[in-house]
Amino acid sequence: MAHEFGVIGCGYVGTAVAMRMQRAGHNVTATTRSSENVRELKRLIDDVRQMDINDADPDLSFLGDLQGLLISVAPTRRNEAYGDVFERGMRSLAAALRRRISTQPLHITYISSVSVYGDQRGEEVNESAALDTRSPVNSMLATAEELMLDIDRPDTSICVLRLGGIYGPGRDMVGMIREAAGQQVPKNGNAINAWSSLVDIARGVQFACDQRLSGVYNLVDDMQLSRRELSTLICDQEGLPPVLWNHTSSPTDRGMNARVSNQKIKDAGFQLVSPSMLQPVTA
């Protein structure tokens, strides 16, 4: 059954979700901050609006018509601070969702990041793990999650999807690793990253909306390799020299180092189509 679905933030993830939901027969309202993006999105999505949640009074009147909503926002402008988006902007959006006037129940999917787990020394973590409060950015991400989860309305259900590093069309991570073969990379090669396929992200948002999932879920693939292990595997297959990684994190590294479990969303019934970037899918 078709319903009204909204996407706040049509970047790489938001655009993929908007297109998937529109193909599924839903009426999609998509928002973006950029006038250039508006022109591009209008070729793909029927209803596109220019809007910035950081504005003093953003036009969020369309929220009352929705039955499903994706929120996928991040700093994208030069010199824009994380605090502008994840403190001021998300606080304003959460307040608007609490005030929403509608007769329709609403399911919200909020996109977050597994970086909130921080450095767990390579140990396995699930959604109940303590979050990293030492990193200012991770702390802001965790606060933004709380703002969404604390929207206390009986007609509103909220799901937080924590993503890993994203790969997919236009983001060929395997190709990038090949290009780095034999070069020094200023990141900790022993750190274990989590990864998410764009295809599975879009599928996961639709699944969360259809199943009205609530709470926090890790939406990551099955690969749990360190940067060094992953690059060595790829370079060995191609007969290339290894990537040269540092042993310690760079000052800009937020310290993600954990084997992130995806068992909770699998237990809910979601099935990955891309178990790793080494077995990619495109649709």
| pLDDT by 10-residue block (mean), the chain, 283 residues | 89 96 96 90 93 86 95 71 78 92 94 95 96 90 94 96 96 94 92 96 98 98 96 95 78 74 98 91 66
* Two structure tokens written together for 175: 């190709």
SS3 label, residue 25 = coil
Residue with tokens 């989860």: 149
CA 114 to chain centre: 9
Phi, psi of 93 (to 5 degrees): -65, -40
Superfamily of chain region 4-167+195-220+257-267: NAD(P)-binding Rossmann-like Domain (3.40.50.720)
Look at strands 165-167 and 195-197 and give their pairing: parallel
Q: What is the reported pLDDT for 132? A: 93
* Partners of residue 48 on adjacent β-strands: 30
Q: Are 124 and 259 in contact (CB under 8 A)?
A: yes
Q: Are 56 and 241 in contact (CB under 8 A)?
A: no
The Cα 238–Cα 263 span in angstroms is: 32
Q: What is the reported pLDDT for 252? A: 43
Q: Are 166 and 227 in contact (CB under 8 A)?
A: no
Nearest CA-CA partner of 16 in 197, 222, 271: 197
Residue with tokens 């990684």: 245
Provide the residue ranges of all domains of the chain, joining segments of one domain with +.
Answer: 4-167+195-220+257-267
Q: What is the reported pLDDT for 248? A: 60
Q: What is the reported pLDDT for 249? A: 52
**DSSP per-residue letters across 215-274:** EEEEE--S---BHHHHHHHHHHHHT-PPPEEESS--TT----EEEE--HHHHHTT---S-
pTM above 0.85, yes or no: yes
The Cα 151–Cα 147 span in angstroms is: 7
Q: What is the reported pLDDT for 280? A: 67
